[in-house]
Structures are given as structure tokens and as C-alpha cells.
């Protein structure tokens, strides 16, 4: 990896450092949010749920923001060409994908972008395909915009999730299926799709005139031994029939700065979307934030070594989680983590109902996790663990979960 630009910042990070995030407006840690999401009286749950990290962002990011902050004038800001250049360099260096500057539009986040894409490229009553169990804001965006969900459920083959290609072929032929959302890497099951899997997905969607929206926000969080393939990099045909979304927010823990990018190589699609952006009042190139662009630019240019160390730390955290749960709770399966920092565990073999599993975790262990049925009905009895936290926090949560289930016993 290229670490030459990290001079002056090497190894000034400590992923074991515990940082108190309470009373900072953190969605993950805020007691009011925990009570809203998990129920009254749950403000004391140890949160391993929403997908942000409990680590400090890289030092170059903070320094770049402090430098701009010192200017003391934060007026209307035009899109920063240096941000585009940093993004282009990062994806060429890290993913061997040559993004052209003209392709890049900016959004305050990928969830808003998902809604914008649904609104522009489908009509009320149209169908949007998702591969469940999957990131639940997809379903919320589809329903919230008056569209209909078409599920193409993933299947488990020899202990690993795979796409159900036959079902995909059938579902993309349904009338009024306009968009297929590709979660790559997949949240929550942790799959990094191979080039062959992506090719099959893309060919089927294109054949049936279904626009692919590739959410690749986790594309930098790839475990050692795996390789992310950017969907649009596969071929010009794929690039012309898709919109991809990426951001530095998951990679470098910058989600609160609300900066993400949409990559649209197809001139017609990009022009149509730019016009729609203008109707929203955000300008033809979209809208990010002043500090979001500054932070992402600094991260892409100067924090690659930080990310490389982070991935090793996450891998160690995952090995601890998998080992503890599978050894201490025989029958529980933690699926191998190929990408993301979100581990997916199956508790169904314990003989408890999905409702009881949730109760044990929340009331017995006092831990907040993303519950499997949030991601679709085929996620019932599963739990998603956010392992992007200091080891001591992870150990406390995992030991509490193990103890709570041992107290209940097998049914």
C-alpha cells in the first residue's frame, strides 16, 4: 500500500484507546436514541449496533479541519476540485478503477442518495429489488417513496451466503422492476462479491433493463485475503447501466460530516440526475459539506497507513468474537467476515425464538445489537455485531452475551 504521504503521522493512533462518546450527540451512544430504538429503560445498553467506529479519525483529517477552521469564515462553498482529485487517486491506487472527474456528483450521504435515485429513476408503484437480509434503510427508502419491494433472498451454501441467481433471473423479469440495489460488500452478511458473481448479477439486470444501484460504501473495509471489485470497473457496459455510491465516511469514521459521492459514467443518466438535483435546490453537481470534503480529501491523501492497521485490528477483533461465541455457545455460527466491520451471527440453533434471543441480549446481556429481522424476515434469529471498537469494549459485550445465554440454557 502507498504510505509515503503519511510522513509525520505514522503510528500515532491507538485503536485500544477508549473514548467516552456519551453526551456528544452520538447516535450510537445517546441514551435517548437507545430508548427510542430498543425501548424504554434501555438507555444503559452497551452499544455495538449502528455502523460507526469508536476510534478517533486519522490525525491528518483533524489537522486539515483545524487549519480550515482557523480561517474563521465558513460561507457558501463551491465543490472542491481537490476532493475529486483525492477520490480519483484513491480508487485508482486502492481499487484499480479509473474514475473520470465528470462522472462524480456529491450527496450528503448514501441513504439520501438512495432516496434521490429511487425518486428519479422509478415511479410510485414501481418495484425495487433488494437482496435480503440487507441494510434496512433500503427497504425504508423503497416503502417511504411509495414503491414496492421485490426480495431476491440470499441463500446459504456450505456455510457461506451466495446470490440466488435463478431467483434473480425470475424477479428481474417482473413487470415494473426498475432498480436493483447491489450492496457490495454486503451488509450485514459480510460477503465480498467475486468478479464472477458481480458479472452474473450485472448481466441479468442489464438483460432485463433494470438499473443497478451499487452501494459500495464499505469497499475499503476488506479483510486480508479478499479483494473488492468495483462494479463499474468490470466493463463499460456495466458502467453505462449503473450508478455507484461511495464515501470516506465508513472507512475513516467521518459519517457525521455528511459527504459521499455518486459515480455516474453514463452521460444521459448523469444529466437526468443533475437536472433532478437542481429541482431539489442542491445544484447540478449535488451538495456535500465544507468540512466533509476537507476531511475526505485529507483521509484519501494521507491516511492509508492508518487504514491498513485498522484492518488488521478489525480482523483480530473478529477472530476473538467468532472464537468466543462458537466455543462458548455451541451451535452458534458466526459467518466468516470478508468485508465491512459488521459480523453476522446465527443464534437459531439454540432453540430459542427470535423474540427470546432479542430479550436475552437486551435484558440479560444489556447489549445493543442490530437484530436480524430488521434486515428482512430471513434474518430472524440472527444478530449483527459492530466490531469497530476497542477490544475491551468488545470483550465486555461478548462475555455478557455468552453469560446471558448460558444462564437461559438450551431449549
Q: Which domains does the chain have, with CATH numbers?
A: 20-53+304-405 (3.90.1150.10), 62-302 (3.40.640.10)
Which cell goes with 66? 483545524
- For residue 345, which phi and psi values (nearest 5 degrees)? -125, 140
Cα separations in angstroms, 286 against 106, 108, 376? 5, 8, 31
Q: How confident is the model at residue 82 (pLDDT cuts 50, 70, 90)?
A: very high
The mean pLDDT of the chain is: 95
DSSP track, 93-104: HHH-----GGGE
Q: How confident is the model at residue 81 (pLDDT cuts 50, 70, 90)?
A: confident
Cis? peptide before 133, omega within 30° of 0? yes
Beta bridge partners of 260: 107
Enclosing H/E stretch for 139: helix 137-144
pLDDT of 286 reads 84
Q: Name the one residue in this structure whose C-alpha cell is 451466495.
A: 162
What SS3 state is found at 257? helix
Q: What share of the chain is helix, strand, coil (3-state, %, to 5)?
A: 45, 15, 40
What is the mean predicted confidence (pLDDT) over 126-130?
A: 98
Distance of alpha carbon 303 from alpha carbon 3, whole angstroms: 8
pLDDT of 288 reads 84
* Per-residue pLDDT at 78 exceeds 90: no
Q: How confident is the model at residue 77 (pLDDT cuts 50, 70, 90)?
A: confident
User: In the 8-state DSSP scheme, what is residue 45?
Assistant: P
pLDDT of 5 reads 47
Q: What are the tens digits of pLDDT across the range 138-178?
A: 999 999 999 999 999 999 999 999 999 999 999 999 999 99
What is the mean predicted confidence (pLDDT) over 387-407?
A: 98
Whether 343 and 334 have beta carbons less than 8 Å apart is answered as yes
Q: Where are the beta strands (DSSP E) in 18-93?
A: 46-47
Amino acid at each position: 500500500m502507498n504510505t509515503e504521504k503519511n510522513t509525520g503521522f505514522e503510528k500515532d493512533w491507538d485503536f485500544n484507546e477508549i473514548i467516552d462518546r456519551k453526551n456528544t450527540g452520538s447516535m450510537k451512544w445517546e441514551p435517548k436514541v437507545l430508548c427510542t430504538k430498543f425501548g424504554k429503560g434501555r438507555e444503559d445498553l452497551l452499544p455495538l449496533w449502528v455502523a460507526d467506529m469508536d476510534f478517533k479519525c486519522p490525525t491528518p483529517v483533524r489537522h486539515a479541519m483545524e487549519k480550515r477552521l482557523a480561517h474563521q469564515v465558513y460561507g457558501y462553498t463551491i465543490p472542491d476540485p481537490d476532493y475529486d482529485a483525492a477520490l480519483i487517486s484513491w480508487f485508482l491506487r486502492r481499487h484499480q478503477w479509473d474514475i473520470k472527474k465528470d462522472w462524480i456528483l456529491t450527496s450528503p450521504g448514501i441513504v439520501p442518495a438512495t432516496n434521490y435515485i429511487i425518486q428519479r429513476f422509478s415511479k410510485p408503484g414501481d418495484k425495487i429489488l433488494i437482496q435480503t437480509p440487507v441494510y434496512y434503510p433500503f427497504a425504508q427508502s423503497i416503502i417511504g417513496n411509495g414503491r414496492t419491494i421485490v426480495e431476491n433472498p440470499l441463500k446459504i451454501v456450505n456455510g457461506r451466503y451466495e446470490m440466488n441467481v435463478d431467483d434473480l433471473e425470475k424477479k428481474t423479469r417482473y413487470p415494473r422492476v426498475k432498480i436493483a440495489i447491489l450492496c457490495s460488500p454486503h451488509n450485514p452478511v459480510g460477503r465480498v462479491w467475486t468478479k464472477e458473481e458481480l458479472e452474473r448479477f450485472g448481466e441479468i439486470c442489464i438483460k432485463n433493463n433494470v438499473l443497478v444501484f451499487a452501494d459500495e460504501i464499505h469497499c475499503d473495509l476488506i479483510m486480508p485475503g479478499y479483494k473488492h471489485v468495483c462494479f463499474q470497473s468490470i466493463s463499460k457496459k456495466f458502467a453505462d447501466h449503473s450508478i455507484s455510491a461511495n464515501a470516506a465516511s465508513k472507512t475513516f469514521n467521518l459519517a457525521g460530516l455528511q459527504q459521499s459521492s455518486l459515480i455516474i459514467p453514463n452521460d444521459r443518466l448523469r444529466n437526468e440526475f443533475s437536472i433532478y438535483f437542481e429541482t431539489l435546490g442542491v445544484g447540478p453537481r449535488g451538495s456535500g459539506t465544507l468540512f466533509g470534503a476537507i476531511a475526505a480529501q485529507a483521509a484519501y491523501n494521507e491516511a492509508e497507513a492508518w487504514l491498513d492497521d485498522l484492518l488488521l485490528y478489525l480482523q483480530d477483533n473478529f477472530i476473538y468474537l467468532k472464537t468466543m461465541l462458537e466455543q462458548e455457545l455451541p451451535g452458534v455460527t458466526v459467518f466468516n467476515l470478508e468485508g465491512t466491520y459488521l459480523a453476522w451471527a446465527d443464534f437459531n440453533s439454540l432453540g430459542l425464538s427470535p423474540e427470546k434471543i432479542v430479550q436475552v441480549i437486551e435484558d440479560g446481556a444489556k447489549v445493543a445489537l442490530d437484530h436480524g429481522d430488521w434486515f428482512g424476515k430471513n434474518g430472524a434469529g440472527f444478530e449483527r455485531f459492530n466490531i469497530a471498537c476497542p477490544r475491551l469494549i468488545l470483550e465486555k459485550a461478548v462475555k455478557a452475551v455468552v453469560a446471558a445465554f448460558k444462564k437461559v440454557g438450551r431449549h
